[in-house]
Amino acid sequence: MSLSAIIMGIAGVIILFGGAIYGLSKMSKENPIDSENETD
Amino acid sequence: MARERWDKRMAFIMAAVGSAIGLGNIWRFPYMAYSNGGGAFLIPYLIALVTTGVPLVALEYYLGVRYQKGPTEAYGYIRKKSKYIGWFSLGIAAMITFYYTVVMAWSWNFLFHSIKVSWKEIGASNFFYNNLLGLSDGISNLGGIQWPVLLGNLLTWIAIFFIVFKGVKVVGKVVKWTVGLPWLLLILIIIRGLTLDGALQGLEFYLKPNFEILKNPSVWLAAYGQIFFSLSLGFGVMIAYASYLPKKSDINTNAWVVSFANCSTSFFAGFAVFSVLGYLAQATGQPIDKVVGGGVGLAFVTFPTAIAQMPGGIILQAIFGIAFFFTLLTLGIDSAFSLVEAIVTGLKDSFNVKREKATFWVCLVGFIIGLIYCSKAGLYYLDVVDHWMNWGLVIVGFLEAVLIGWFYNTNKVSKDIDSTSEIKFGKIWVFSIKYLTPIILGAVIITSIYKEFSNPYGGYPQWALMSCGWILLISILYFAIYMQDRNNIKNISFTNSVGRATGWLLIFTGLLTSFVLFYQSTTLLGAITLIGSTLIGIFIITLFMELNNKKNSY
């Protein structure tokens, strides 16, 4: 495999999975919905 | 009565991810990336994801979360006369579900036949087109029912009924499996794929960047189109699912997580697809561009061919086959039941019918209409209808962005969304919904119209393209306008109702006449009749609607 292909593969994984993990980390800080569920 | 709720926020996220991740992640994205610059495609893809994908998902969540209604009612809160967008999106969702379940039916059959790798001796292409589908010689020849496909379709509808009829709490439990399992199986397929000879050459084709191609606007349009189709936008699914969240829910972070989870799955699936394609190319001594492809052919011909060629004997081939088709089933089923959920939520909210009753009727009607796709000409109909329904989705996306961007206070919505969200989009969201999304989706519509007329799709006869394409799409639009119109029939005078009925009669007659004209290959006259009767009919209906509104306002 060429170096450019390897770089794009790694970059894609880091950015896309990183994006999802970033979102999840924002969710775990505060989770108002689950607590709201009780009273809604 | 209090609205149903998801058990946990994570249940909603998983359900939305399950809906977005479908067969397209395996058979559309990898091929799209390969044909549009390989690894370089990631650049327009990521930009499209952040600039229109996430904002549009957030917009649909906003409609569901804040108005606590499914698509048919939620649009009405923005503007009374926009309810038709919700009905239109549900019509499209229904048409797509009716054939999507048939693709599931093929997967059930392949799963069953994987035990003995039944296609090994006769070839996957022969097995799929002749044995399983019994494909007729053309779209005009229905040729009777293919019973194994019908049985698979029945099984799928029964599964959907039992998942949806009890409400989103059950959906929330099922998606843990239908999202988790395909991920595990994909990892297994990738591990096996990467250990095959030629896998790295396959990945080279998938990932090698060609940055020159990014100068071509069609690559950017392809990236935006791919993002749009991949995120389950335009069906009303996201609105329906979000309507079961509490009113003050975090909108942006949910949209962000779901969109990124979906796109990372697509990228990940590319590794599975291209490692196996690389192996197939080497095993058959063909260049990779001869084996590469997307869509139905990839899943039901190319992959089974590769499976039958794999080393390790029939047991390992069978295990790989079962893993692959079970992945397809689990990927597809949560997309299929999310579409049904959207329709059921729409019917429930607009007509106050019980969930069980609405689910039963949607499943029954879906199964009956699906009979045409279980015929020997089923694949042809599926192909044509699928092509046009994609059009419908883009139209819905365009309409919803224009509605919020230009007929509502976008700044107010943006502030409202940000106020309950951890991740803030600010002005980027406003810019996306008001300018970028309508321009991009408008460009997709215009270029598609141009392509449609310069090169009729798939070499099908004109009558088939017209009736399963244009007429079907326009009929869904009429249905949507009718559903909106019927909401305004309170305090209506006799003259007014006769006036409206005349409009509908004109549209309906025009539709039938144009169908006959298309069938007789008098395309131009058919098109003039269709457009003329539509315009005059809609004018008459709108006129009487306005007269009635005026009368009621005095």
pLDDT digits (tens, 9 = 90+) for B190-205: 999 999 999 999 999 9
Answer whether B257 sits within 8 Å of A5, measured CB to CB.
Answer: no
Name residues of chain B where pLDDT drops below 50.
none
Instruction: State which residue of chain A sits closest to B199, comparing Cα positions.
Output: A1
pTM: 0.89
Task: Provide the pLDDT for residue B553.
Answer: 56
pLDDT score for B281: 94
Evaluate if residue A40 carries a pLDDT over 80: no
> Are A23 and B207 within 8 A, CB to CB?
no
For residues B127 and B118, the answer to whether their CB atoms sit within 8 Å is: yes
Distance CA B158, CA B310 (A): 34
- What CA–CA distance (Å, rounded) separates B484 from B494? 19
Q: Tell me the C-alpha to C-alpha distance, in Å, between residue B141 and each of B132, B390, B457.
A: 17, 25, 19
Q: How far apart, in whole angstroms, are the C-alpha atoms of residue B423 and residue B434?
A: 20
Residues in chain A closer than 8 A to B260 (CB atoms): 16-17, 19-20, 22-23
Q: B288 to chain A: which residues are within 8 Å by CB?
A: none
What is the DSSP-derived secondary structure letter of residue B499?
H
Cβ proximity of B29 and B269 under 8 Å: yes
pLDDT confidence of residue B180: 93
Closest approach of A8 to chain B, Cα-based (Å): 5
Q: Which of A5, A17, A37 sits opposite B207 (nearest CB)?
A: A5
Residues in B closer than 8 angstroms to A25, CB to CB, are none
pLDDT at residue A38 tops 50: no
Contact B6, B245 (CB under 8 A): yes
Q: CB distance B208–A12 less than 8 Å?
A: no
**How many Cβ atoms sit within 10 Å of the Cβ of residue B433?**
27
DSSP codes joined into one string, B224-257: HHHHHHHTT-SSSHHHHHHTTS-TT---HHHHHH
Q: Buried (b) or exposed (e) across B91-103, using 16+ Cβ within 10 A?
A: bbbbbbbbbbbbb
Q: Please report the pLDDT score of residue A31 as a whole number.
A: 53
Q: Quick check: B362 and B240 in contact, CB under 8 A?
A: no
For residue A20, give the nearest of B261, B271, B420 by CB distance. B261
Partner-chain contact A40 B250, CB within 8 Å: no
User: Residue A34 has what pLDDT?
Assistant: 53
Contact by Cβ (8 Å): B206, B34: yes
Whole-angstrom Cα distance, residue B530 to residue B471?
8
Q: What is the pLDDT, as a whole number, of residue A39?
A: 40
| Contact check, Cβ <8 Å, A8/B245 | no
